[in-house]
Amino acid sequence: MHPTTLICLPFAGAGASFFRKWSRLTPEGLTLLPVQLPGREERITETPFTDVGAAMDEACPWVCERLDDQGRVALFGHSLGAELAHELTRRLAARGVLVTRLFVSGAHAPRDRSVERISALDDAHFVAGLRRVAGFNHPAMNDPEMLEIMLPLLRADSRMHEEYHSRYLDRLNVPITSLRGADDTLISAGEAVRWAEETSAGFDYVEIDGSHMYLTDHAADLLAVIATALQQAESGSPVH
């Protein structure tokens, strides 16, 4: 596989360290570039974004500074991260960056979305709603002190997700692979395949064992799917 940088965008409440843990699983030729957004980990003192577009306006120059002109570029995002990755792909393409493929995971397509709105609820109902819509139990939810620190970020990320919709009339000239946990009860297969409407350059749908947060337990399987898709893109073979 030609050297490829995989830009990784976080799901709600997550930081770049989630993807840094994947380094020992990464296939040869694939380099991860996790994007750290404000309000988390080493940027915890910064105000988190509540708008996907604004977040990617800030991230795009940082990403471009770290790309190798000789290597290929792909993007991956799960849930909220898929929406961030879609917007970042648009911005990179506008700057002339050739994106090989966009990998979106566990996410509604960005048009005509119907998502539960919880970000404006009081703390107790917000946390209960987050358990329901996130598909996993964030560690902060079981630690009152940590939860108090994390609530502004979790609310901001929830608002980003709730209010996101695509404003683009044109389709991306970038192939898209939509991934989903086979047992995901939050995103249906029908919702996942609607990402096909966002591209004019080829689409594929892949299921991986697990539920909505399959990537926490099946990261190696996910990275293998990504590597295979990128290798097949080199050869011109269809992605399966």
Domains and CATH numbers, the chain: 4-112+169-235 (3.40.50.1820)
**Per-residue pLDDT tens digits for 140-186:** 677 788 888 888 999 999 999 988 988 888 999 999 999 999 999 99
**Per-residue pLDDT tens digits for 38-89:** 999 999 999 999 999 999 999 999 999 999 877 899 999 999 999 999 999 9
Residue 34 has pLDDT above 60, yes or no: yes
Rounded mean pLDDT of 108-125? Answer: 81
- Contact indicator for 205, 178 with CB cutoff of 8 Å: yes
| Rounded distance between C-alpha atoms, residue 158 and residue 152, angstroms | 10
**Which of 86, 108, 138, 212 does the annotation list as catalytic?**
212
Does the active-site annotation cover 212? yes
Does the active-site annotation cover 17? no
Those residues with Cβ within 8 angstroms of residue 55's Cβ, 6 or more apart along the chain or in another chain: 37, 49, 84, 87, 160
**Which of 78, 79, 119, 161 does the annotation list as catalytic?**
79
Q: What does pTM read for this prediction?
A: 0.92
